[in-house]
Structure 1
Amino acid sequence: MGGSQSSNTRRISVTNDDQSGVIKVSDSIVQRLKGGKEVKDSQSESRPVSQPQFDAEKVTSSFPHSYYGRGTPKTSLEIRQDQEAALRENDQYWEKRLKTIEDNHKKINRRMEEEYKKATKEIEELFSRLPAKLEQPPCTNAGQHVKKCYQQNPREVLNCAKEVEAFAACVDMKRVNLLDSRQ
C-alpha cells in the first residue's frame, strides 16, 4: 500500500544551450524531486490542460534557477583560470624535471672529463718511456754486419755465428743499461 511507484513515467526533452552543461530547473520541480508536495494553483486545476508551444529560453528564464549535479556551476572565467593554473603547475613540474636532468648530465660530463684527463695522462706517461722516433735502434752496426754476412753466405748460415753473437751481446748490453736507467 503506497509502497509502489507510479507506473506512468514521464519524459521530457529540453535543448540545453548552456555551454557548461548545467540544466536549469524551476523551484516547483526541485520540490517534486525532493519529495515535497507540489504547490498547485486553484486556477490550473479547473482549466483544461493544453500543450502550449513555449520557447525553452522563455520558460527557463522566467523561473528562479537551481543547479543539480556538481554543485554551483563554474563560470567560463573560473574554468579558464583553473586550466591556466593546471598548465602552470604542469610547466613547473617539467621545469624541475628538466633541471634535474641537466644537473645529472653536468655531473656525468664532469666525471667523463676527469676520466679522459686521467687516461690521457696515463698514455702520455707510457709513451714518454718509449724511445723517440728520431733515435736510431740500438746495435744498428752489429745488425748490418749480420745482414751482410747472411747475404754473402746464403747456404752457410753457421759461418755468421760470430756476427750473431756480437749482435746478441750488444742488444743484451743495451737492455741492461736501459733497465738501470729506469731504476
Structure 2
Amino acid sequence: MGGLQSSGTRRISVPNDDTSGVIKVSDSVVQRLKGGAEVKETQSASPPVIQPQSNVEPVTSLFPPSYYGGGTHKTSLEMRQDKEEALRENDQYWEKRLKTMEENHMMMNRRMEEEYRKAAKEVEELFSRLPAKREQPPCANAGQSVKSCYQKNPGAILKCAKEVEAFAACVDMKRINRLDSRQ
C-alpha cells in the first residue's frame, strides 16, 4: 500500500483568454526581437491592425477579479512612497524610544552614584569609630593566657576554667565601659 510511485509527470496548461491590457505585436516585430530574418516586405509594409478597446468583447472568467488592498490600485511610486513613509515613522519611533532609554539610563546612573557615595560615606564613618591598628584588642593578655592553657592541656580543657573565667570577666568589664562612654 503506497509502495508504488507514479511513473510520469503531469502537466496542466491553463489558457489565458483575458486580452485586456495585452499589447498585440505583429509577426515581423516578433521575428526582429528573436533576431530572425525579416518577414516579407509586403507584410511589414501594411500597418498592423490595432483594434480599439471598445470593440473588444469582455472576457468572462469563472473566477471574479480580486484585488489586494481593498480594490484600490496603487502605482509602484505610491507604494514606494508609502514604504518610505512607514520606514521614516519606524525610524522616528525607534529614535524616540532610544532617547527615552538613554534618559532613563542616565537617571539610574545618577541615582546609583548617589547611593554609592552615601554607602562610601557610611563605611568611612563606621571605620573611623574603630580603634587604630596600633591599639591592642581589649583583654589581649587574658585571651593569650587562655590560649596557652589550652595548648598545655589539650585533653583536659576543664583545667583552664580559671583563665576562661578571667577572660570573660575582662570582656564584660570592657563592654560596660564602652556602653557607659557612649551615653
- With structure 2 as the length reference, what TM-score do the two structures score? 0.48
- With structure 1 as the length reference, what TM-score do the two structures score? 0.48
Tell which has more relative contact order, 1 or 2 (C-alpha 8 A, sep 6+): 1
